[in-house]
Each structure stands twice: as structure tokens, then as C-alpha cells.
Homo-oligomer: A and B are copies of this chain.
Amino acid sequence: MDVKPDHRIGKNAMHLALFGPDEVNQEYIKDLRIQGFVFCQGKTGSMETNKIVAAIETAAKRNGVIENDVYRETHALYHAIMEALHGVTRGQVLLGTVLRSVGLSFSVVRGKPYQSDAEGEWIAVALYGTIGAPVKGAEHEAIGLGINHI
């Protein structure tokens, strides 16, 4: 099955998260760039939600997906991260507080998913990994996607 990126920013972001920086196909990466998307991939794991947020924000800034000193962009990314975390945590955006931990592959993708130029740029944050007790193997998969205009 030959998977190619298209204008659907969320689907692309989820593809990057599902396969992670190690497994993702380089052809896919190249095609995504050709289509005008800017993005990064990474991995993070913690019992502290704030560390997950910080890891994604840092990766997005270091890789030029969002501008470092513009609050507007940080604000757009922050809300996309929080929305993605709702999918992972499913109810209360809490990890260690309720005795659970995550190990996540993430992606942040920025680009124009709509045909009309007036719709401008959007940002998607996708998360894929495991959530569970802080014990090896006592965990199942979790997924989240957050999308925002930027």
C-alpha cells in the first residue's frame, strides 16, 4: 500500500506520528516538503504533562515550524498540543497526577490545507504512543490530533 501525503494536514501529521522519526519513509518526507508543508518529528515520554508540552514546543521552535519570538504562533501551537492531549488522555489532561505515564511519538505540521488563499496557514499536532501505569508492558496505545489556524 503506497501512502502519499496530500492537502489533508491532519492525516499527514498522524502519518508522521504513527511511523515516527525512525520508521517513516524518506519518500513520504520528501513529498510532504514538495507540497509546501513545514514539519518536525520527535519522541517524548513522561509522567508530567508539562514536559510533554515543552518537548513538542521546543522541537517545533528548533526546527523552524513556528517562530521563536512570536507569541501568536506559540499560542496557536499550545492550543493544538492541548487538543491533541485530550485525545491521548480522554477526559482529564492528567498523567502522573492520576498515576499514569506516556511514551509518545509526535509530529508538528504547518501548511495550507485549504484551496482558498484566504484560509492561510494552519498547524497540526499529532501524537501516537502508549499510555498506562508506570510499569513496563502495563499500557495500551493512545492517539491525539490538534489542529489550529496560525
Q: A residues touching B (Cβ–Cβ < 8 Å)?
A: 1-3, 8-11, 14-15, 18, 25, 27-28, 48-50, 53-54, 57, 67, 69-72, 74-76, 78-79, 82-83, 85-94, 96-100, 113-114, 116, 118-120, 122, 124, 126, 128, 132-133, 137-150
Q: A72-B120, A118-B70 are in contact. Are A97 and B142 (CB under 8 A)?
A: no
20 A-B contacts, Cβ less than 8 Å apart? Answer: A1-B2, A1-B28, A8-B141, A9-B141, A10-B142, A10-B143, A48-B97, A53-B98, A70-B116, A71-B114, A71-B137, A72-B120, A75-B132, A82-B90, A83-B91, A92-B92, A93-B98, A94-B97, A126-B143, A142-B145
